[in-house]
Amino acid sequence: MTHAAEPRGERGKQITLRLVAAVLALVFALLGAWQVERLHWKTDLIARVDARVRAAATPAPGPSIGASLSRADDEYRHIVVHGVFEHDKETLVQAVTALGPGYWVMTPLRTDADFEILVNRGFIPEELKAPAGRTEGEVSGPVAVTGLLRISEPGGGFLRANRPASGLWYSRDVEAIAADKHLTTPAPYFIDADATPNPGGWPRGGLTVVRFRNDHLAYALTWFGLALLAAGFALLPRLAPRRLGTGD
C-alpha cells in the first residue's frame, strides 16, 4: 500500500512556499525600485546644494521672507549681509569639529535693514570659552558677513535638550536663542560664516560640512538581489525531493 496522502500534502506545501517566495520577490523588487527613486532624489539634491554653495552671494532674506524658507530648497544658499555685531548677546553652542571639541559662537548681527540675524561666526576651543580670552576677535563697527544660510535646529542635540536657563546649548535653535537674548526682529534662520579670518584667528569660520550620505545604490542592488533569489526559489522545478512510497 502507498501513502497517497503524503504526496498531496507535500505538493500543497510546495505551492505555499512558491507563493510566499513570489510575494517576497515582488516586495523586494518594489523596495529596490523605491531605492532607485531615492537615489535620483538624493543625486539631484546634492547637485542643487552644490550649485547653491558655489553661486555668487546674494542678499540675506529678511524675517518675512525667511519664514517661507525650506531645508530642501534654501539651505546652504550663499548669502551676504551688512550690519553690526551685538557681541554682548552671543550664545555658545557645544560642537565637535575637525579642530576638536568646543563651541560655535552664535552672535546676533543688527543688519542695515534693522532686523537681526544670528551668525555662527565659527568655532572656538574650550579654553577660549570666556570672551575675555578672545577680545581681539570681537569686531566692532559695520561689517559684511558672507556665508551659508542654515535652517534652525530646534530642540537640542541627540538625547540632550537645550537648557537656556543654565546656558547649555546643544543645537542652533534660532527661535529659542532669539527668545533667550531678547532679540526684537530675528530672522528665522542663521548664517554659517565663511573662512574669512577674524582678528586674532578666533572664532574660526568656514567649517560647515556639506556632505550627504548616499547609499541608495547599494540598498537598491541589495533589494534587487534578494528579489532575484526569491524569484528563483519560486520558479524551481521542485523545492525538495519527494519521499518514495513504500508498499506492502
Q: Domain of 141: which CATH number?
A: 2.40.50
Instruction: Report pLDDT for 2.
Output: 47
* Shared-domain flag, residues 137 and 184: yes
Residues 26 and 123 in one domain: no
- Do 218 and 195 lie in a common domain? no
Number of Cβ within 10 Å of residue 96's Cβ equals: 9
E strand spans, 19-140: 58-59, 78-85, 91-97, 100-111, 116-125
Looking at the structure, tell me whether residues 229 and 151 fall in a common domain: no
pLDDT given for residue 244 in this prediction: 47
Clarify whether residues 35 and 89 are in a common domain.
Answer: no
Q: Are 99 and 192 in a shared domain?
A: yes
Whether 220 maps to a domain, the answer reads yes
Pairing of β 160-161 and β 156-157: antiparallel
Residue 44 covered by a domain: yes
Host H or E run for residue 246: none
- Mention every residue, 6+ apart, whose C-beta is less than 8 A from residue 72: 45
pLDDT, residue 42, reads 72
Residues 6+ apart with CB under 8 A from 82: 111, 112, 142, 143, 144, 145
Do 35 and 108 belong together in one domain? no
Whether 242 is covered by a domain: the verdict is no
pLDDT at residue 6, rounded to an integer: 53
Residue 61 lies in a domain: no
- Please report how the helices 5-54 and 216-235 are oriented relative to each other, as an axis angle in degrees rounded to 10: 160
Residues 132, 137, 141, 144: is their CA dihedral positive or negative? negative
The total number of structural domains that make up the chain: 2
Instruction: Let me know: does 6 contact 205? Beta carbons within 8 Å.
Output: no
Q: What angle do CA 231, 233, 234 make, to 5 degrees?
A: 65
Say what the pLDDT of residue 233 is: 83
Exposed, middle or buried by CB within 10 Å (0-12, 13-18, 19+), for 191?
buried
Residues 95 and 34 placed together within one structural domain of the fold: no
Give the pLDDT score at 183. 97
32-68: string of b/e by CB count within 10 Å (b at 16+)? beebbebbeebeeeeeebeebeeeebeebbeeeebee
Please check whether residue 57 lies inside any domain of the structure: no
Flag whether 112 is in a domain. Answer: yes
* pLDDT < 50 regions, the chain: 1-3, 244-248
194 with 228, same domain? no
Residue 88 lies in domain: 77-201
Query: Is 56 among the domain residues?
Result: no
Q: Are residues 87 and 144 in the same domain?
A: yes
Say whether both 171 and 218 belong to one domain: no
Judgement on whether residues 193 and 106 belong to the same structural domain of the protein: yes
- pLDDT for the residue 64: 86
Distance between CA atoms of residues 162 and 154, nearest Å:
9
Q: At a CB cut-off of 8 Å and minimum separation 6, what does 181 contact?
A: 89, 91, 108
Q: Is residue 248 part of a domain?
A: no
